[in-house]
Protein backbone atom coordinates (compact mmCIF):
# COMPACT_ATOMS: atom_id res chain seq x y z
CA UNK A 1 0.00 0.00 0.00
CA UNK A 2 1.25 3.49 -0.86
CA UNK A 3 0.67 5.85 2.06
CA UNK A 4 1.05 9.64 2.03
CA UNK A 5 1.56 10.87 5.60
CA UNK A 6 1.17 14.59 6.22
CA UNK A 7 2.79 15.80 9.44
CA UNK A 8 1.18 18.74 11.19
CA UNK A 9 3.18 21.56 12.71
CA UNK A 10 3.33 19.63 15.99
CA UNK A 11 5.59 17.07 14.30
CA UNK A 12 8.51 19.46 14.76
CA UNK A 13 7.20 22.02 17.21
CA UNK A 14 4.50 21.75 19.85
CA UNK A 15 2.44 24.86 20.50
CA UNK A 16 4.28 27.08 22.95
CA UNK A 17 7.66 25.38 22.51
CA UNK A 18 10.65 27.60 21.71
CA UNK A 19 11.66 27.26 18.05
CA UNK A 20 15.06 25.75 18.78
CA UNK A 21 16.99 23.19 16.76
CA UNK A 22 17.03 20.90 19.80
CA UNK A 23 13.24 20.93 20.17
CA UNK A 24 12.70 20.34 16.47
CA UNK A 25 15.22 17.51 16.43
CA UNK A 26 13.55 15.77 19.39
CA UNK A 27 10.13 16.06 17.78
CA UNK A 28 11.46 14.85 14.42
CA UNK A 29 12.81 11.77 16.22
CA UNK A 30 9.37 11.08 17.71
CA UNK A 31 7.75 11.52 14.29
CA UNK A 32 10.27 9.19 12.69
CA UNK A 33 9.51 6.45 15.22
CA UNK A 34 5.79 6.59 14.33
CA UNK A 35 6.46 6.68 10.59
CA UNK A 36 8.90 3.78 10.81
CA UNK A 37 6.05 1.60 12.07
CA UNK A 38 4.24 2.17 8.76
CA UNK A 39 7.31 1.07 6.83
CA UNK A 40 7.88 -1.95 9.09
CA UNK A 41 4.28 -2.98 8.37
CA UNK A 42 5.24 -3.34 4.69
CA UNK A 43 3.88 -0.11 3.24
CA UNK A 44 5.54 2.35 0.88
CA UNK A 45 5.65 5.88 2.26
CA UNK A 46 5.67 9.50 1.13
CA UNK A 47 5.97 12.16 3.84
CA UNK A 48 4.84 15.76 3.70
CA UNK A 49 5.02 18.35 6.46
CA UNK A 50 4.03 21.86 7.51
CA UNK A 51 6.42 24.78 7.96
CA UNK A 52 4.37 27.62 9.44
CA UNK A 53 6.54 28.36 12.50
CA UNK A 54 9.80 27.86 10.60
CA UNK A 55 9.01 29.96 7.54
CA UNK A 56 7.68 32.69 9.82
CA UNK A 57 10.92 32.70 11.78
CA UNK A 58 12.95 32.95 8.58
CA UNK A 59 10.78 35.88 7.52
CA UNK A 60 11.46 37.59 10.86
CA UNK A 61 15.18 37.05 10.41
CA UNK A 62 14.90 38.52 6.93
CA UNK A 63 13.34 41.64 8.40
CA UNK A 64 16.82 42.53 9.66
CA UNK A 65 17.77 43.25 6.04
CA UNK A 66 16.78 46.27 4.04
CA UNK A 67 13.24 45.82 2.60
CA UNK A 68 14.55 45.28 -0.93
CA UNK A 69 17.01 42.64 0.31
CA UNK A 70 14.53 40.40 2.16
CA UNK A 71 13.90 37.01 0.58
CA UNK A 72 10.35 36.31 -0.72
CA UNK A 73 8.13 33.61 0.75
CA UNK A 74 8.78 31.08 -2.03
CA UNK A 75 12.52 31.18 -1.30
CA UNK A 76 11.89 30.99 2.45
CA UNK A 77 9.60 28.01 1.79
CA UNK A 78 12.45 26.26 -0.01
CA UNK A 79 14.81 27.03 2.88
CA UNK A 80 12.43 25.68 5.52
CA UNK A 81 11.65 22.61 3.38
CA UNK A 82 15.32 21.76 3.20
CA UNK A 83 15.85 22.25 6.93
CA UNK A 84 12.83 20.25 8.07
CA UNK A 85 13.35 17.58 5.42
CA UNK A 86 16.92 17.10 6.56
CA UNK A 87 15.86 16.49 10.16
CA UNK A 88 13.07 14.05 9.27
CA UNK A 89 15.26 12.27 6.70
CA UNK A 90 18.10 11.69 9.12
CA UNK A 91 15.89 10.60 12.01
CA UNK A 92 13.88 8.24 9.80
CA UNK A 93 17.05 6.69 8.37
CA UNK A 94 18.21 6.05 11.94
CA UNK A 95 14.83 4.65 12.98
CA UNK A 96 14.95 2.22 10.05
CA UNK A 97 18.60 1.28 10.67
CA UNK A 98 19.30 2.53 7.15
CA UNK A 99 17.43 -0.44 5.67
CA UNK A 100 15.53 1.77 3.21
CA UNK A 101 16.77 4.79 1.23
CA UNK A 102 15.20 8.11 2.27
CA UNK A 103 15.40 11.34 0.24
CA UNK A 104 14.09 14.89 0.56
CA UNK A 105 12.83 16.61 -2.60
CA UNK A 106 12.19 20.35 -2.72
CA UNK A 107 8.84 20.37 -4.52
CA UNK A 108 7.38 23.13 -6.67
CA UNK A 109 3.58 23.43 -6.63
CA UNK A 110 1.74 25.51 -9.22
CA UNK A 111 -0.97 27.93 -8.09
CA UNK A 112 -3.28 30.24 -10.03
CA UNK A 113 -2.23 33.89 -9.97
CA UNK A 114 -5.91 34.93 -10.10
CA UNK A 115 -6.81 32.86 -7.01
CA UNK A 116 -8.89 35.10 -4.70
CA UNK A 117 -6.72 33.93 -1.78
CA UNK A 118 -4.15 36.53 -2.83
CA UNK A 119 -6.65 39.21 -1.84
CA UNK A 120 -7.63 37.57 1.47
CA UNK A 121 -4.65 36.22 3.47
CA UNK A 122 -5.59 33.40 5.86
CA UNK A 123 -2.51 31.19 6.34
CA UNK A 124 -0.84 31.52 9.75
CA UNK A 125 2.95 31.73 9.81
CA UNK A 126 5.50 32.63 12.44
CA UNK A 127 5.20 32.88 16.23
CA UNK A 128 2.15 33.92 18.22
CA UNK A 129 1.87 37.35 19.86
CA UNK A 130 -0.35 39.24 22.22
CA UNK A 131 -2.68 41.45 20.20
CA UNK A 132 -0.90 44.73 20.93
CA UNK A 133 2.48 43.39 19.85
CA UNK A 134 0.99 41.77 16.74
CA UNK A 135 -0.66 45.03 15.73
CA UNK A 136 2.57 46.97 16.28
CA UNK A 137 4.57 44.51 14.18
CA UNK A 138 1.91 44.53 11.47
CA UNK A 139 1.95 48.30 11.30
CA UNK A 140 5.74 48.40 11.04
CA UNK A 141 6.13 45.59 8.51
CA UNK A 142 2.90 45.86 6.50
CA UNK A 143 1.64 42.45 7.64
CA UNK A 144 -1.88 41.13 7.73
CA UNK A 145 -2.69 39.53 11.11
CA UNK A 146 -5.49 37.38 12.51
CA UNK A 147 -6.47 35.78 15.80
CA UNK A 148 -5.15 32.25 16.43
CA UNK A 149 -6.75 30.89 19.59
CA UNK A 150 -6.15 33.45 22.31
CA UNK A 151 -3.12 34.92 20.48
CA UNK A 152 -2.46 36.71 17.21
CA UNK A 153 -0.25 35.77 14.25
CA UNK A 154 0.79 36.95 10.83
CA UNK A 155 -1.32 35.64 7.93
CA UNK A 156 -0.30 35.34 4.28
CA UNK A 157 -2.08 34.27 1.06
CA UNK A 158 -2.80 30.54 0.79
CA UNK A 159 -3.86 29.78 -2.80
CA UNK A 160 -5.18 26.39 -3.87
CA UNK A 161 -2.59 24.01 -5.32
CA UNK A 162 -3.43 23.04 -8.91
CA UNK A 163 -0.43 21.07 -10.21
CA UNK A 164 2.73 19.36 -8.97
CA UNK A 165 5.24 19.52 -11.84
CA UNK A 166 7.81 17.49 -9.89
CA UNK A 167 5.49 14.45 -9.81
CA UNK A 168 7.63 12.71 -12.46
CA UNK A 169 10.69 12.84 -10.20
CA UNK A 170 8.65 11.58 -7.24
CA UNK A 171 7.43 8.57 -9.22
CA UNK A 172 10.97 7.73 -10.34
CA UNK A 173 12.12 7.72 -6.69
CA UNK A 174 9.17 5.60 -5.56
CA UNK A 175 9.82 3.10 -8.34
CA UNK A 176 13.29 2.60 -6.83
CA UNK A 177 11.92 1.95 -3.35
CA UNK A 178 12.86 5.36 -1.94
CA UNK A 179 10.89 6.84 0.97
CA UNK A 180 10.35 10.43 -0.14
CA UNK A 181 9.93 13.57 1.96
CA UNK A 182 8.40 16.22 -0.27
CA UNK A 183 5.91 19.06 -0.67
CA UNK A 184 7.23 20.61 2.54
CA UNK A 185 5.08 23.45 3.80
CA UNK A 186 2.60 22.76 1.01
CA UNK A 187 5.36 23.01 -1.58
CA UNK A 188 7.18 25.97 -3.09
CA UNK A 189 4.46 28.18 -4.64
CA UNK A 190 5.06 28.94 -8.31
CA UNK A 191 3.15 30.33 -11.27
CA UNK A 192 3.27 28.81 -14.75
CA UNK A 193 3.57 31.41 -17.53
CA UNK A 194 2.05 31.12 -21.00
CA UNK A 195 5.27 29.60 -22.34
CA UNK A 196 5.31 26.90 -19.64
CA UNK A 197 8.03 28.47 -17.50
CA UNK A 198 7.79 28.57 -13.70
CA UNK A 199 8.42 31.49 -11.38
CA UNK A 200 7.98 31.86 -7.61
CA UNK A 201 5.13 33.77 -5.98
CA UNK A 202 4.65 35.23 -2.47
CA UNK A 203 2.39 32.72 -0.70
CA UNK A 204 2.31 29.66 1.57
CA UNK A 205 0.19 26.77 0.31
CA UNK A 206 -1.93 24.77 2.76
CA UNK A 207 -0.01 21.59 3.51
CA UNK A 208 -3.10 19.38 3.74
CA UNK A 209 -4.54 20.58 0.42
CA UNK A 210 -1.19 20.01 -1.29
CA UNK A 211 -0.89 16.58 0.34
CA UNK A 212 -4.34 15.58 -0.94
CA UNK A 213 -3.41 16.67 -4.47
CA UNK A 214 -0.10 14.80 -4.20
CA UNK A 215 -1.83 11.63 -3.00
CA UNK A 216 -4.28 11.82 -5.90
CA UNK A 217 -1.57 12.38 -8.51
CA UNK A 218 0.51 9.50 -7.13
CA UNK A 219 -2.50 7.18 -7.00
CA UNK A 220 -1.90 6.58 -3.27
CA UNK A 221 -4.05 4.12 -1.36
CA UNK A 222 -4.19 6.18 1.83
CA UNK A 223 -3.69 9.73 3.05
CA UNK A 224 -2.94 10.28 6.73
CA UNK A 225 -3.27 13.80 8.15
CA UNK A 226 -1.38 13.50 11.43
CA UNK A 227 -1.87 16.08 14.15
CA UNK A 228 -2.08 16.44 17.95
CA UNK A 229 -5.73 15.45 18.45
CA UNK A 230 -7.01 11.85 18.52
CA UNK A 231 -9.75 12.27 15.91
CA UNK A 232 -12.27 14.63 14.37
CA UNK A 233 -14.79 15.51 17.07
CA UNK A 234 -18.45 16.41 17.08
CA UNK A 235 -19.36 19.20 19.53
CA UNK A 236 -15.66 19.86 20.12
CA UNK A 237 -14.85 21.66 23.38
CA UNK A 238 -18.16 20.79 25.03
CA UNK A 239 -19.23 18.08 27.45
CA UNK A 240 -20.92 16.37 24.48
CA UNK A 241 -17.84 16.06 22.31
CA UNK A 242 -17.32 12.65 20.74
CA UNK A 243 -14.86 11.11 18.31
CA UNK A 244 -15.97 10.28 14.78
CA UNK A 245 -14.67 6.85 13.85
CA UNK A 246 -15.71 6.67 10.20
CA UNK A 247 -17.60 9.01 7.89
CA UNK A 248 -18.27 9.51 4.19
CA UNK A 249 -16.71 12.41 2.23
CA UNK A 250 -20.11 14.06 1.73
CA UNK A 251 -21.05 13.83 5.39
CA UNK A 252 -17.59 15.04 6.44
CA UNK A 253 -18.08 18.24 4.47
CA UNK A 254 -21.29 19.04 6.38
CA UNK A 255 -19.55 19.00 9.79
CA UNK A 256 -19.44 22.26 11.73
CA UNK A 257 -15.70 22.60 12.38
CA UNK A 258 -13.30 25.44 13.23
CA UNK A 259 -12.19 27.22 10.04
CA UNK A 260 -8.59 27.68 11.13
CA UNK A 261 -7.76 24.16 12.25
CA UNK A 262 -9.78 21.02 11.57
CA UNK A 263 -11.98 22.24 8.71
CA UNK A 264 -9.15 22.45 6.13
CA UNK A 265 -7.95 18.98 7.13
CA UNK A 266 -11.38 17.46 6.73
CA UNK A 267 -11.89 19.22 3.39
CA UNK A 268 -8.57 17.87 2.09
CA UNK A 269 -9.30 14.39 3.42
CA UNK A 270 -12.78 14.37 1.88
CA UNK A 271 -11.40 15.45 -1.50
CA UNK A 272 -8.93 12.58 -1.54
CA UNK A 273 -11.41 10.02 -0.20
CA UNK A 274 -13.87 11.08 -2.90
CA UNK A 275 -11.40 9.75 -5.48
CA UNK A 276 -11.54 6.28 -3.90
CA UNK A 277 -8.74 6.24 -1.32
CA UNK A 278 -8.90 6.17 2.46
CA UNK A 279 -8.13 9.37 4.37
CA UNK A 280 -7.37 9.26 8.07
CA UNK A 281 -7.03 12.02 10.66
CA UNK A 282 -5.57 11.57 14.13
CA UNK A 283 -2.51 11.61 16.37
CA UNK A 284 0.94 11.18 14.93
CA UNK A 285 1.71 8.47 17.51
CA UNK A 286 -1.30 6.50 16.27
CA UNK A 287 -0.39 6.60 12.56
CA UNK A 288 -0.35 2.84 11.97
CA UNK A 289 -3.49 2.31 14.07
CA UNK A 290 -5.31 4.94 11.99
CA UNK A 291 -4.24 3.12 8.85
CA UNK A 292 -5.54 -0.14 10.31
CA UNK A 293 -8.85 1.40 11.41
CA UNK A 294 -8.10 1.12 15.14
CA UNK A 295 -7.82 4.85 15.92
CA UNK A 296 -8.57 8.29 14.56
CA UNK A 297 -11.17 9.28 12.01
CA UNK A 298 -11.34 7.48 8.66
CA UNK A 299 -13.03 9.19 5.71
CA UNK A 300 -14.02 6.64 3.07
CA UNK A 301 -16.46 6.53 0.17
CA UNK A 302 -17.54 2.95 0.93
CA UNK A 303 -18.28 2.06 4.53
CA UNK A 304 -15.86 -0.53 5.94
CA UNK A 305 -16.06 -2.93 8.86
CA UNK A 306 -13.58 -0.79 10.85
CA UNK A 307 -14.42 1.16 14.01
CA UNK A 308 -17.48 3.42 13.74
CA UNK A 309 -18.03 4.57 17.31
174/190 Cα distance (integer angstroms): 24
pLDDT higher for 56 or 46?
A: 46
The predicted pLDDT at position 142 comes to 83
Average pLDDT over residues 181-188: 94
Q: Strands, DSSP E only, in the chain?
A: 2-7, 44-49, 102-105, 108-111, 123-129, 144-148, 151-156, 161-163, 179-182, 188-192, 198-200, 222-227, 233-234, 242-243, 246-247, 278-283, 297-299
Give the active site residues: 9-10, 123, 207, 265
The predicted pLDDT at position 38 comes to 98
pLDDT tens sequence across 267-278? 999 999 998 999
pLDDT tier for residue 21 given thresholds of 50, 70 and 90: confident
The predicted pLDDT at position 256 comes to 85
Residue 258 has pLDDT above 90, yes or no: no
In eight-state DSSP terms, residue 286 is G
How far is residue 256 CA from its own chain's centroid?
21
pLDDT tens sequence across 199-234? 999 898 999 999 999 999 999 999 999 998 899 998
The predicted pLDDT at position 308 comes to 43
pLDDT higher for 280 or 24?
A: 280
Amino acid sequence: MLVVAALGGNALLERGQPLTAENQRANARRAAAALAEIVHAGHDLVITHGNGPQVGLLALQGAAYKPDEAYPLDVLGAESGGMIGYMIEQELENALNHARPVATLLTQVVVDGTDPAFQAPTKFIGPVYERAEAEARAAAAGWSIAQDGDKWRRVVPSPKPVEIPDIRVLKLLLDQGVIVICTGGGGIPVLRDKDGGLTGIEAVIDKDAASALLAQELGADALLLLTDVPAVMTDFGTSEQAEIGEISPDDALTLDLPAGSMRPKVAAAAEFAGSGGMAGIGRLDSALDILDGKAGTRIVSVKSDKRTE
